[in-house]
Amino acid sequence: MASKPSIPKGTRDFSPTEVAKRQYIMQIIKSNFEKFGFQPIETPSFENSDTLMGKYGEEGDRLIFKILNSGDYLAKANATHLESKDSTKLTASISEKALRYDLTVPFARYVVQHQNDIEFPFKRYQIQPVWRADRPQKGRFREFFQCDADVVGSTSLWQEVELVQLYDSVFTTLGLNGVTIKINNRKILSGIAEVIGASDKLIDFTVALDKLDKIGEDGVKKEMIEKGITADAIEKVQPLFQFTGTISEKIEQLSQLLASSDEGMKGVAELRFICDNVAKLNLATAILDLDVTLARGLNYYTGAIFEVAAPKTVAMGSIGGGGRYDDLTGIFGLKNMSGVGISFGLDRIYLVVEELNLFPETVTVSTKALFINYGDTEALYAMQAIKDLRAAGIKVELYPDSAKMAKQFQHADRRNIPFAVIAGEKEIEANNYALKNLSTGEQVQVSFEELKAKLL
């Protein structure tokens, strides 16, 4: 093979440093998931196509990676579609499996398939890669990890309270202070639609309203009218154009605005429960804020809607999101299974933590000391110490070859190894070791016990 090998576009190799940093974030997410009582599950990388197809809309269907059937797949191919060269239609007869597109649909499938073995309410977390045949671009990949926590089998709003706390706990542990957890409620949105008398214009309405900061009240109203929302309707929700104050004050305004809508008032009550209890319990560093324009996955969520924005100093889209859905498992035939969940955007969190310089320096230190190799006799002496140090949990290495000193020290330097241990003839004689601090250059002769103590 002449040309240098490469990887498919939209995919990534991760170097030791990158893996260490990613694992650092994932470990914090995982340990917080577990502190909050979530249990891990894992599902296969590929699912039967009929489990995935039709669950993400037409665009989603196109972006799902399909796996070609093994063996003589053309033997079973649909002759008509083959003849007419209809790629889309042919797929079903030459591909039975597809790579998972998210963790939510496989989770729903898991719950239905194992419903008799699951103890409900079921709090599960899942940290696994997903694949999408999206056009790759900056920050958008064809393979990326999702980190999801969901509870199914209870409608209790305490779970929403806990999910807000969970976000706060993870971002606080990461040192990522000042994230904004935006909250809204599908029922508030329905209430607004009812009040403006235009359910079909809801998305247009929220999209326009979301631009308030950018284009001002007049600009927003102009856009709304262009989209066919009447001046009369806009008049009815005028308070939303001066929607400021504390969360409690905002909720108060909503309760007046939506007084005529049963659904809207349910949303107000839910929001009030969640926000009041979060306030009573205090968040460590995150800010909870009500955002009535928040409408992610509108057709999917039925109650609370969450989205997390990075601290204002960092230009970055949402770093997490989630909400309540009342019929997750209905698509697989299990009705009345309410769920609520949140997701962490690993890649974006990584970029934010990197930009704010929040990775601890120790994350990229793996090996603590490199033993210099002076030949087989000395190496055996070194290996005896190495063995006992490793047994004590200390990460140490022998340079495998008795290469030139400079080369061995350079290796330690390039590997970011903080100490070198010199164990030559003199040290063997004295039954000790020379420990060299590679950043200060300081070198001391130490016994094995002292060596161990210094490297622990």
Q: Are 385 and 448 in contact (CB under 8 A)?
A: yes
**Alpha-carbon gap, residue 47 to 64, rounded angstroms:** 11
- The smaller minimum CB distance to a second copy, of residues 68 and 259, is found at 68
- The smaller minimum CB distance to a second copy, of residues 258 and 412, is found at 412
Q: Kindly state the smallest distance separating residue 133's Cβ from a second copy, in Å.
A: 4
Number of residues engaging a second copy in binding (CB under 8 A): 109
**Alpha-carbon gap, residue 261 to 267, rounded angstroms:** 10
| Tokens matching residue 318 | 């949402």
Question: Which positions from 29 to 68 touch a second copy by CB under 8 A, shown as an x/- string?
Answer: -----xxxx-xxxxxxxxxx-xx----------xx-xxxx
Q: Are 270 and 303 in contact (CB under 8 A)?
A: yes
- The smaller minimum CB distance to a second copy, of residues 34 and 262, is found at 34
Binding a second copy by CB under 8 A: which of 29, 61, 109, 196?
109
- The smaller minimum CB distance to a second copy, of residues 314 and 331, is found at 331
Contact flag: residue 279 with a second copy (CB under 8 A): no
**Alpha-carbon gap, residue 96 to 50, rounded angstroms:** 8
Residue 67 neighbours by CB distance under 10 Å: 14
Identify residues 399-428 at the interface with a second copy (CB under 8 A): 400-401, 411, 414-415
Amino acid symbol at 46: F
Residues across the chain: 456
Phi-psi region of 287 (alpha: psi -120 to 50; beta: other; left: phi over 0): beta
Identify residues 247-276 at the interface with a second copy (CB under 8 A): none
Angle (CA) 410 413 416, round 5° = 150
Amino acid symbol at 263: E
Binding a second copy by CB under 8 A: which of 230, 318, 367, 432?
367
Binding a second copy by CB under 8 A: which of 26, 151, 240, 257?
151
Identify residues 314-353 at the interface with a second copy (CB under 8 A): 331-333
Binding a second copy by CB under 8 A: which of 56, 60, 78, 82?
82
Residue from 162, 181, 161 nearest 171 by CA: 181
Contact flag: residue 437 with a second copy (CB under 8 A): no
Residue from 442, 337, 310 nearest 118 by CA: 337
Helix 262-281 × helix 247-257 angle, to 10° = 170
- The smaller minimum CB distance to a second copy, of residues 202 and 379, is found at 379
Choose the stretch contacting a second copy; rule: CB under 8 A; options: 90-98, 179-187, 350-358, 432-440.
90-98
- The smaller minimum CB distance to a second copy, of residues 126 and 261, is found at 126
Binding a second copy by CB under 8 A: which of 24, 25, 97, 288?
97
Q: Kindly state the smallest distance separating residue 304's Cβ from a second copy, in Å.
A: 14
User: Measured in Å, how far apart are the chain's first and last C-alpha atoms?
Assistant: 46
Query: Where do the H-state alpha helices sit in 95-149?
Result: 104-113
Choose the stretch contacting a second copy; rule: CB under 8 A; options: 149-157, 200-208, 313-321, 348-356.
149-157
Q: Kindly state the smallest distance separating residue 50's Cβ from a second copy, in Å.
A: 8
DSSP tag of 68: P
